[in-house]
Amino acid sequence: MSLLNDQLVERAATSAGVILLVTASLWLLHLVRTLWRLRHVPGPLLSKFTDLYRAQLVRTLRSHEIHQGFHDRYGAVVRLGPRMVSVSDPAAIPTIYPMRPGFPKGDFYEAFIPYLPGGSLPAIFTARDENLHKRLKSPVASLYNLSSIMKCEPSVDETLDVLFEQLDTRFVATGKTVELADWLQYFAFDVMGTMTFSKRYGFLESGADNLGISTGIWNFMLTVGPMTQVPWLDKILHKNAIAAKLKKASGNKIMQIAADAVAERKAETAAKSESNGNGNGHSHKSAKQDFLGEFLKLQSASESSPPWAPLVWTFSNIIAGSDSTAVVMRTTLYHLLTHPSDLARVRAELDALPNLTTTAETSKEGFKYPRWTDLNTLPYLSACVDEAVRLHPPFCLALEREVPASGVVVCGTYLEPGTRVGMNPYVVNRHKGTFGEDAEVWRPGRWLEGDEEHRRKLAGSVMTFGAGRRVCLGKALGVLEVKKVVAALVVNYEIDLIDPKAYTVENSYFFRQKGILAKLRRRQA
């Protein structure tokens, strides 16, 4: 009996030893392969072994500066993870972000897809499958071109009215200090709500994030930012049924708002059709003139777009179009307020406009709103917005792509298939070889120098809106909003910044600013 026991123990020990040996060998093989694969790409030591290192960098909220430091030290191509490479030279933009398909988004984007019981729901921004992306984007793309978005101008003016009435009552009349960083964000959200489903969230009226939307998005970013760097860990911690049971994902709140808006509109439309006596619940004759009305029409007319498309289109507008625009609004305004000569030049351009009139149909208090058709022709205002877009992109991590089966050569460096490669807009936009030795500083004049070709090269080197096939769909709309609100503020108010040093920035993929504290006075006619 004891002999049998001894034999069993010996056999178990041998099997355990073999398993241990095989595991250790596999792990060693994996390590060698991992190290070997990108051995020719320089980078910090830890990044060669694990993605946890770059995830930790994001948790510092200063990863944009750290990444820039790496590029200063190691050059244009830097290894940021065992399989991930960051590139800083704008010359590589057409290679990594081509117009043609075949260079898909990397698993970085999985982190943004809210996990729902029954599966995840990709949006235009997050879809990695190129066919699905086409099915989601094609039907709605034309809604975001310049001629379509000009129809949004009345919604912007309507929301400006609400913003300015609040600023007058709460701050001009009382002399209290206003945190413009917050109020620009309230405006950005409420204007997007008005354009998307003809409703404000109530940020402006309440003077607060009373639904917790903005806080929810920032908390979502604090989780998602690091997870984009370690997609495998995200699956374990967040993207499975057990994790979903244990905690509510913050992305779900925005999805819920979108879902409620879609359901409400469908019910409204069905009720109207019924009362019109045609009994056709899908008629959109009386649909409101907003994005959601268009989304529903387009979905029912398109055979290839899935039934849940209006939900993800609405979700996209909220999540991609509000906070991002607020960042550029804040950057533009803050730099104008801290550079009085630039502010004076912009104001002179605006004051000289012949069409600077009160919009009779919306404005109750005599506020003046420059028209988009005029704003778009003002060279110095445009230069200031271009400079703000360059200096502080709202998204400040490398926008990752997956190297296709052919492999690719980037800035003279070969990257094998499957490598994750990306460019961080914050770093690219400060490329000294392109933007000059003063690339770090605010200087709108750079956008007015040189010939047409030089200016085109500068514009093509800015990564703030992404590039190529997956470039931002809402760029024209975002720029319209920024120019409208900045111009209207400058025309209607004297703004005295209290402490320029109170301004702070943080980055968890998404860039956040605080501390534009000011006193407001109405400008005299």
**Tokens 């402006």, residue?**
204
Choose among 96, 46, 41, 93: nearest CA to 71: 41
Interface residue with ligand HEM among 41, 333, 346, 399 (CB under 6 A) is 399
Compare residues 76 and 462 and give the one whose CB is closer to ligand HEM: 462
Q: What does the block give as tokens for 342? A: 């630039």
Only one of the segments 154-162, 264-272, 367-375, 461-469 lies at the binding site for ligand HEM (rule: CB under 6 A); that segment is: 461-469
- Shortest Å distance, C-beta 514 to ligand HEM: 18
Query: How many Å is the Cα radius of gyration of the chain?
Result: 26
Cα-based distances in Å from 285 to 268, 278, 294, 298, 307: 12, 11, 11, 13, 20
Compare residues 81 and 193 and give the one whose CB is closer to ligand HEM: 193
CA–CA separation, 192 and 10 (whole Å): 70
β-bridge partners, 395: 510
Note whether 284 and 261 are within 8 A (CB): no
Does position 478 bind ligand HEM by CB under 6 A?
yes
Choose among 222, 233, 241, 297: nearest CA to 512: 222
**Tokens 């409400």, residue?**
264
Does position 193 bind ligand HEM by CB under 6 A?
no
Interface residue with ligand HEM among 229, 324, 413, 492 (CB under 6 A) is 324
- Which residues inside 37-96 make contact with ligand HEM, applying CB under 6 A? none
Residues binding ligand HEM: what is the number (CB under 6 A)?
A: 22
- Burial of residue 15 (number of CB atoms within 10 Å: 0-12, 13-18, 19+): exposed
- Shortest Å distance, C-beta 379 to ligand HEM: 20
Does position 383 bind ligand HEM by CB under 6 A?
no
Only one of the segments 241-249, 358-366, 373-381, 467-475 lies at the binding site for ligand HEM (rule: CB under 6 A); that segment is: 467-475
Does position 390 bind ligand HEM by CB under 6 A?
no
- Burial of residue 104 (number of CB atoms within 10 Å: 0-12, 13-18, 19+): middle
CA–CA separation, 330 and 228 (whole Å): 26
Cα-based distances in Å from 214 to 142, 190, 311, 319: 28, 11, 20, 10
Does position 164 bind ligand HEM by CB under 6 A?
no
CA–CA separation, 127 and 116 (whole Å): 16
- Shortest Å distance, C-beta 326 to ligand HEM: 8
Interface residue with ligand HEM among 470, 483, 484, 512 (CB under 6 A) is 470
Only one of the segments 6-14, 88-96, 393-401, 491-499 lies at the binding site for ligand HEM (rule: CB under 6 A); that segment is: 393-401
- Shortest Å distance, C-beta 242 to ligand HEM: 29
Does position 472 bind ligand HEM by CB under 6 A?
yes
Interface residue with ligand HEM among 63, 155, 194, 316 (CB under 6 A) is 316
- Shortest Å distance, C-beta 99 to ligand HEM: 12
Note whether 445 and 383 are within 8 A (CB): yes
Only one of the segments 7-15, 74-82, 322-330, 515-523 lies at the binding site for ligand HEM (rule: CB under 6 A); that segment is: 322-330
- 472 carries a ligand binding annotation: yes
Interface residue with ligand HEM among 427, 473, 491, 520 (CB under 6 A) is 473
Sign of the dihedral through C-alpha 106, 107, 113, 116:
positive
Does position 305 bind ligand HEM by CB under 6 A?
no
Does position 464 bind ligand HEM by CB under 6 A?
yes
Interface residue list for ligand HEM (CB under 6 A): 124-125, 137, 316-317, 320-321, 324-325, 328, 394-395, 399, 464-466, 470, 472-474, 477-478
Q: Which residues are annotated as a binding site for heme?
A: 472
